[in-house]
Amino acid sequence: MKRQFFKNDDNKFIIATVPKCASTSIKLWMYQVQFGEKHGGGVCKRCNNNTIHACVCLGELNDHEEVARYPYKLYSIVKDPYSRILSTYINKIEDGGTPSNTTKVYTIFENYMKGLGKEIKKDKDTFGSFLKLVAVGTPGLSDENHIIPQTELLAFDKLSYTHVGRFETIGDEFEKIKKQTEIGFGLPSKDKTKGRPTPTNAGDKLDKYYNRENFDLVNKIYITDFTNFKYKMR
């Protein structure tokens, strides 16, 4: 797990980004705030690195100890725990199993399933097996950036956040952040035809992947996220 904090000294704010929670849009926005011009998303003309995620112009801070030294406003955007872990599962397990795109998470899970003599299928049972492996605290899996509780990723218990917004209402959240930081323009969109970032469809797929047992597993793994970010448990 590597926490991601980016700071802006002129407007005195820091944002902790969470993967798949508008992190691309947030970084593009911070770049524009900092330099007064758009990044464009491809190769950065300041640092020459590919994509906004590799750009080193954004004032990245090392970890929460460094963040705590700045008397700045601190923000983040988080996601509903049920759809966040489902979206990770679909992305890394169902879509991640091709030989050219095998991730560490996929390999760990594949070995676990082999040990159980089970096949990886696109169903509730396989998702449940994945959740069980996360629940026991498997290194390389449970502490991965897309899987670790957002409370941990944000160092929420160690830092004092000005506002933690929800991905589900990101338009409203960014209106707040804009006002508080006195920045005159809002979040850019990855998809220029739309007004806001493209949401994952995982939220609509809850019925297909969740049964009582899977809800209970997520409630147990992400209890701190439900409590801290006030998402409703099912």
Nearest distance in Å: CB 24, Zn ion: 14
82 alpha-carbon distance from chain centroid: 13
Residue for token pair 């323009």:
185
Nearest distance in Å: CB 219, Zn ion: 40
Q: Is 57 or 133 the residue whose CB approaches Zn ion more closely?
A: 57
Looking at the DSSP bridge assignments, the partners of residue 61 are 5
Q: Is 8 or 87 the residue whose CB approaches Zn ion more closely?
A: 8
Interface with Zn ion includes 47 (CB under 5 A)?
Answer: yes
User: Which region among 53-61, 107-115, 153-161, 196-204 touches Zn ion (by CB under 5 A)?
Assistant: 53-61
Asked whether the beta carbons of 67 and 74 are under 8 A apart, the reply is: yes
User: Which region among 55-63, 84-92, 159-167, 207-215 touches Zn ion (by CB under 5 A)?
Assistant: 55-63
Interface with Zn ion includes 55 (CB under 5 A)?
Answer: yes
Tell me the backbone φ, ψ of residue 78, rounded to 5 degrees. Answer: -120, 170
Q: Is 10 or 182 the residue whose CB approaches Zn ion more closely?
A: 10
User: Which region among 56-64, 78-86, 197-205, 207-215 touches Zn ion (by CB under 5 A)?
Assistant: 56-64
Interface with Zn ion includes 57 (CB under 5 A)?
Answer: yes
User: Which region among 44-52, 69-77, 113-121, 151-159 touches Zn ion (by CB under 5 A)?
Assistant: 44-52
Q: Which of 12, 38, 46, 104 binds Zn ion (CB under 5 A)?
A: 46
The per-residue DSSP string of 144-200 comes to STTTS-HHHHTTTTTS--SEEEEGGGHHHHHHHHHHHHT-SS----SSTTSSSPPPP
Interface with Zn ion includes 44 (CB under 5 A)?
Answer: yes
What count of other Cβ atoms lies within 10 Å of the Cβ of residue 54?
11
- What part of residues 201-220 is at the interface with Zn ion (CB under 5 A)? none
Measure the CA–CA gap between 228 and 224, rounded to whole angstroms.
6
Residues 6+ apart with CB under 8 A from 4: 16, 17, 23, 60
Nearest distance in Å: CB 191, Zn ion: 22
User: Which H or E element spans position 73?
Assistant: strand 73-78
| Residues in contact with Zn ion by the rule CB under 5 A | 44, 46-47, 55, 57
